[in-house]
Amino acid sequence: MTTLIPHFINGQINEEHQALFDVYNPATGQSDKQVVLGSSETLDKAVSAAKLAFPAWANTSPLKRSRIMNKFVILLEENKDELAKIITNEHGKVHADALGEVQRGLEVAEYACSAPELLKGDFSSNVGGQVDCHTLRLPVGICAGITPFNFPCMVPMWMFPIAIVAGNAFILKPAEKDPSAAIFMAKLLKKSGLPAGIFNVVHGDKLVVDAILEHHDIGAVSFVGSTPIAKYIYEAAAKNGKRVQALGGANNHCVVMPDADLDLAVHGIIGGAFGSAGERCMALPVAVVVGKDTHKKLIEKLSIEIDKLNVNSGDQPNVDMGPLVTKEHQQKVLNYIDIGVKEGATLVRDGRNTKVPGYENGYFVGATLFDNVKSDMVIYKEEIFGPVLCVLAADNLGDAIELINSGPFGNGSCIYTTNGAHSRTYTTQVHAGMIGVNIPIPVPMAFHSFGGWKASLFGDTHVHGPEGFKFYTRLKTISTRWGQSDNTASAFVMPTLS
């Protein structure tokens, strides 16, 4: 029996589709679910529902909107284990990692509950004769989110909690590969008391994405995914007059200095490179080592830790790494490893023949370590998005920074050092949006904002935190004169209010 994964429109599930897409369990390679792929007509229905619900919601006090979000946080907390199981079943990541993803999303919803504080405007008294000035942050209207497969819960939650508490209606287009988490969250939002039409889920492929980009009634588009699609979304949305933030791919570097706490660095790099099988935009696929002795020790220690890793189905106990998301992606990563060997990099650990008993059809690739990687190699230059770590050598910190800054991406980056001056040089000179010092995956907390530079983000607002509130609101500035005025004559010069 195949289960259909439906849309969620106007508070109801909806199964209309122009096509069906098989959703797999990556650990078993089996599919018993299909997601409905909508059309522009399906999107129209969601937009109509959002349009109808928006005025009353925008008029609801921020405090009442926040109370509903608070209820959602409580329900999410109560149901997080079930949601994590859904994520593991369709994405493949291990259960504890899926729970971590839910937690990081939940924290954005917690932050969104402070909307009454965050939506406060400014006020200036007496900016001119009897004139006061104040600002309002008002909702944009109908906002859409288009999200990637690698965080089916957290990335949508970077967007919709803030959009909703700010008074907007939201339409989510999740990734086709793991679409169930979105529907689970939609049902919890309904249970929390969110009015029908304020949160809708429309599944689909390019057809629905293009319908979003072209829809006259959608005012803002948030996208997270690969760089070529991010660029396309940014250009098309901007051309159609929409506010847009489009987060793209990454190739994050970690620099290990001779003065680093090497054990700390090794554990950080192992988690950063192989956690979630390397399918994180903040993963650490590249380590740049300064100093020959540090290099040698780092490779030895990394190899020891890789040999201890437990690769298995994500729902099994004590697993470090689950499978990749699809067979195609598994093939793509295996192909990159073949390329690395042909390019002449030293294959220190080879994950190509990883077999998991009982899961022979799963999409597993074991942790792979390449040493002596050069900056002109394909395995260094491209985003592999799998459990493949490339180690390069640099003569000094300046060369390491130059290497990082010469690449096209600028998402995250980190340094392992015990020297404050090295840390300061690195944090100020590296061209990336998020930097870690002795922290491998420097994902900002919900009350800060997340976003990269260069080809890792098109647009100028980062997601969640204060920038999220900025993105999902429009600023209105009101100048008011109350009182008697002696001057009733028409003014033909630029008003100076003095």
Q: Binding residues for ligand NAD, how many (CB under 6 A)?
A: 27
Give me the sign of the Cα torsion angle 41, 43, 49, 50: negative
CB of 421 to ligand NAD, least distance (A): 30
Rounded (10°) angle between helices 62-91 and 180-191: 150
Contact between 101 and ligand NAD per CB under 6 A: no
Strand partners, 19: 37
- d(Cα 367, Cα 322) in Å, to the nearest integer? 11
256 binds ligand NAD (CB under 6 A): no
Tell me if 281 contacts ligand NAD by CB under 6 A.
yes
The single residue among 9, 162, 175, 397 that binds ligand NAD, judged by CB under 6 A, is 175
**Runs of H (alpha helix) within 168-219:** 180-191, 206-214
Nearby residues of 272 by Cβ (< 8 Å), 6 or more positions away: 252, 254, 282, 283, 284, 414, 440, 441
Examine residue 206 and tell whether it contacts ligand NAD (CB under 6 A): yes
Nearer to ligand NAD, 35 or 76 (CB): 35
Instruction: State yes or no: residue 340 binds ligand NAD (CB under 6 A).
Output: no
CB of 326 to ligand NAD, least distance (A): 9
For residues 335 and 280, what is the distance between their CA atoms, to the nearest angstrom? 19
CA–CA separation, 416 vs 261, rounded Å? 7
Residues 113, 143, 153, 281: which is the catalytic one?
281
> Which of 176, 343, 350, 399: binder of ligand NAD (CB under 6 A)?
176
Q: Tell me which amino acid residue 9 is.
A: I
Instruction: Report the SS3 class of residue 139.
Output: strand
For residues 373-412, which are near ligand NAD according to CB under 6 A?
383, 385, 411
Among residues 456, 458, 467, 472, which is the contact residue for ligand NAD, using CB under 6 A? Answer: 456
Asked if 212 and 221 touch (Cβ cutoff 8 Å), the reply is yes
Rg of the chain in Å (alpha carbons): 25
Beta-bridged to residue 244, according to DSSP, are 221
Q: Residue 146 or 185: which CB sits closer to ligand NAD?
A: 146
With CB under 6 A as the contact rule, the residue among 225, 278, 322, 410 that binds ligand NAD is 225
Counting contacts by CB under 6 A, is residue 473 touching ligand NAD? no
Give the interface segment with ligand NAD, choosing from 62-70, 218-226, 341-349, 482-490 (CB under 6 A).
218-226
Contacts (Cβ under 8 Å, ≥6 apart) of 271: 440, 441
Which parts of 143-172 interact with ligand NAD (CB under 6 A)? 146-151, 155
The b/e string for 288-319 (b: 16+ C-beta within 10 A; e otherwise) is bbbbeebbebbbebbeebbeebebbbbbbeeb
Residue 465 backbone zone (phi > 0: left; psi -120 to 50: alpha; other: beta)? left
CB of 273 to ligand NAD, least distance (A): 14
113 is catalytic: no
Decide whether 258 or 452 has the Cβ nearer to ligand NAD: 452
| Residue nearest ligand NAD, CB atom distance | 225
**Catalytic residues, which ones?**
281
Binding stretches for ligand NAD (CB under 6 A): 146-151, 155, 173, 175-176, 205-206, 209, 224-226, 229, 247-250, 281, 383, 385, 411, 452, 456
